Amino acid sequence: QVQLVESGGGLVQAGDSLRLSCKVSGRTFERQAMGWFRQAPGTEREFVAAISRNGLNTRVADSVKGRFSVSRDNAETTVYLQMNDLTPEDTAAYYCAATATGSVSYYYRADYQYTDWGQGTQVTVSA
């Protein structure tokens, strides 16, 4: 069974940067397409970023385009979410997700397409 452990969240000020990490174990990392989602209190979980199994294709949500980026290190079995120029609207619990389905070049934006989830890491951005 795959395990995903997020880290790197915290309390920052508007304009700061954070890098979230998601360490994956229990299943061949290279076979996992990965995604990042977030959920603020009282809202639905929303897509943030995704990366294909081969790392060549990525996608970020329009709300974070130009500020966030996603990458992966297969040797470290870790996926990253680099977040720059954070705003209070980015405050949420951030979750990474994994799925072993699909082609090596696919990424996925819908949460139902993922089979495994981490416990989340909280990001709080003060004004």
Residue 123 has a pLDDT of 98
Distance CA 58, CA 52 (A): 6
What percent of the chain stands above pLDDT 70?
100
Per-residue pLDDT for 47 more than 90?
yes
Residue 114 has a pLDDT of 96
- The pLDDT tens digits for 63-97 are 999 999 999 999 999 999 999 999 999 999 999 99
Distance CA 18, CA 86 (A): 8
Distance CA 80, CA 83 (A): 10
Tell me the average pLDDT across 31-41.
96
Tell me the average pLDDT across 9-17.
98
pLDDT band at 104 (very low <50, low <70, confident <90, very high): confident
Tell me the average pLDDT across 111-115.
95
Distance CA 48, CA 62 (A): 9
Distance CA 81, CA 7 (A): 10
Q: What is the mean pLDDT of the chain?
A: 96
Residue 105 has a pLDDT of 87
Residue 53 has a pLDDT of 94
- Where residue 90 falls (left for φ over 0; alpha for ψ -120 to 50; beta otherwise) is alpha
Residue 1 has a pLDDT of 81
